[in-house]
Amino acid sequence: MASDWSDPRPMSPHLQVWRWHATMASSILHRATGIANYFGAAAIAIWVILLAFGAEGSIAFLFEGPMAWVTRFALIGLTYAISYHWLNGLRHLVWDFGKGYDPKGSNLRSILIMIGAVIPTALLWLNLGA
């Protein structure tokens, strides 16, 4: 049956035929940050539970030596994920009111949100280092 298909276009859209744009990247990043927030919240909850049970020694390796840099990088990434997901969630809230659907404006806002999420992340981590 498929041999009767004469249209050269694919039968269903695929990532290889789509032209990437900021709104598409924003949608994918929103899903990825949602997953990161889920696992980050679980990891922090486990860490707090271990601290409550007095297991500081069993998790001290996370904050010593080279592993400290991995832990810090993961926490900075989690902070960015929370900031981005929250800002993009505000955009989705505006969309729920039927506003902001114009393609050029939506692409611009997507880029601004991706860059804008760096600001609260940087402010928080620069203040923690001081």
Which structural domains are found in the chain, ordered by start?
21-129 (1.20.1300.10)
| Per-residue pLDDT reduced to its tens digit, 30-60 | 999 999 999 999 999 999 999 898 887 888 8
Q: What's the mean per-residue pLDDT of the chain?
A: 89
Q: Counting Cβ atoms within 10 Å, is residue 114 exposed (0-12), middle (13-18) or buried (19+)?
A: middle
Read off the amino acid at residue 47.
Answer: W
Residue 2 has pLDDT above 60, yes or no: no
* pLDDT tens digits for range 90-130: 999 999 999 999 999 999 999 999 999 999 999 999 998 75
Token duo for residue 37? 């927030």
Q: What is the pLDDT of residues 67-84, one digit of tens each?
A: 999 999 999 999 999 999
pLDDT of the residue at 4: 72
